Amino acid sequence: MKLIEYEKIGEKVYHHVLDNKLNIYVLPKRGFNKYFAFFATNYGGCDRRFALGGKWVDTPAGVAHFLEHKMFDTEEGNALMQLSLNGASPNAYTSTGITAYHFECADNFYDNLRILLSFVSIPYFTPESVEKEQGIIAQEILMGEDNPTRAVYQNLLRALYAHNPVRDPIAGTVESIAEITADTLYDCHKVFYNPSNMVLCVAGDLDAQKVIDTAREIIVQEAGELPQRDYGEPETLYPNKKKYEVNMEVAAPLFRMGSKFEQPDNGEEYFRFLLLGNLACAVLAGTSSPLYARMYAKGLINNRFGAGFSYVPGGMYACAVGESREPLQVMDEITAEADRISREGVDVQLFERLKKASIGNYLRDFDDMENITAYLADGHFKGYDPMKGLDYYDKISIDEIQRFISDAFNPERLAISIVWPNEADN
């Protein structure tokens, strides 16, 4: 077991790798009266095509999400109910690149940890339960198709990407999940839920060695081969489609505009670029920016407007999102401000103020055990240390912010997704 101390932020982390290659991170939070456990696999909605032993395998859209739903089934019953009866608040989610199972509790932590590690590592599926789940998830998919917020998000990804499977919903389609069988789930569990492709992160007033011993006791399977992943043909920096518009039941138009970037291969560079991109979006269009104030005063945006930088497997993207009667005018205002900044530069005082605010938000996350365990997991999978954020903030220059804004909000690289109200509603 290795102890890593971070003097700048006053935190420390215990790290250990079991013989089966499962990585464990323990963040001790002395005096805290709650505990949090986060058990994740480096497997998400985009991981549909992969290779093992040189052989390529294609799976239907939605398998990772379907598998997440079914993992709570055990021979003894339902693990979700078992955790709840034991005083825990459990949950799970599937994103484009990760599936995570977690719980929070005030006591019985080690008993709950055993339940979590057991049901996630020991699959139990039957043809009957899979068929039943297909009906449940099909209803979830159909309801999602009527969700304007989900539509404006998914359509931007379709506008930006020509090949990346992020174009498709994480839950798949009614047709794609109909192809999923119990054997599909067992096969994908064997590939992606092996210890070498997973990480356990816990936080609280805990004994790190006892956490490690508990994991060693429960996770008995051997390390598996890490799959090679295929996210489609290489993407250009230009959008697949400049504009994606649909009509739905909304009171006012919703919009989401963005541009894509290549993801750095190096994990540390990835983390630095993620911090830089979010800071740049705040400088351009955050609530403290002159652009935000002008657009708000004109009535172009409301308090639902925001801008940020995120990632998908195989890429990264900047975006601005909100609600506006004139979404194309909002786009014009943003690109005009980005052009001005590219010529005149970033206001130094604004940059320094927002940089300090970003650092403050980063430090506050260490008091949120769900956030920090998720960061530790993401850092492990992508090869960076989330506890070293201050080192990267120190190195972000105002010139880099200016270049990012110029690139991200260049009209040639931008795509926009709009959900307009139905004509009958106008």
Q: Are strands 35-41 and 11-17 parallel, antiparallel or unpaired?
A: unpaired
Under 8 Å CB-to-CB from 359, ≥6 apart: which residues? 389, 390, 393
**Which residue in 5, 7, 11, 68 is the catalytic one?**
68
The span from the CA of 87 to the CA of 89, in Å, is 7
CB 112 within 8 A of CB 86: yes
SS in 3 state form for the chain?
CEEEEECCCCEEEEEEECCCCCEEEEEECCCCCCEEEEEEECCCCCCCEEEECCEEEECCCCHHHHHHHHCCEECCEEHHHHHHHCCEEEEEEECCCCEEEEEEECCCHHHHHHHHHHHHHCCCCCHHHHHHHHHHHHHHHHHHHCCHHHHHHHHHHHHHCCCCHHHCCCCCCHHHHCCCCHHHHHHHHHHHCCHHHEEEEEEECCCHHHHHHHHHHHCCCCCCCCCEECCCCCCCCCCCCCEEEEEECCCCCEEEEEEEECCCCCHHHHHHHHHHHHHHHHHHHCCCCHHHHHHHHCCCCCCCCEEEEEEECCEEEEEEEEECCCHHHHHHHHHHHHHHHHHHCCCHHHHHHHHHHHHHHHHHHHHCHHHHHHHHHHHHHHCCCHHHHHHHHHHCCHHHHHHHHHHHCCCCCCEEEEEEECHHHC
Identify whether 352 is a catalytic site residue: no
Distance (Å) of CA 215 to CA 14, 16, 91, 118: 14, 11, 19, 9
- Catalytic sites, residue numbers: 68
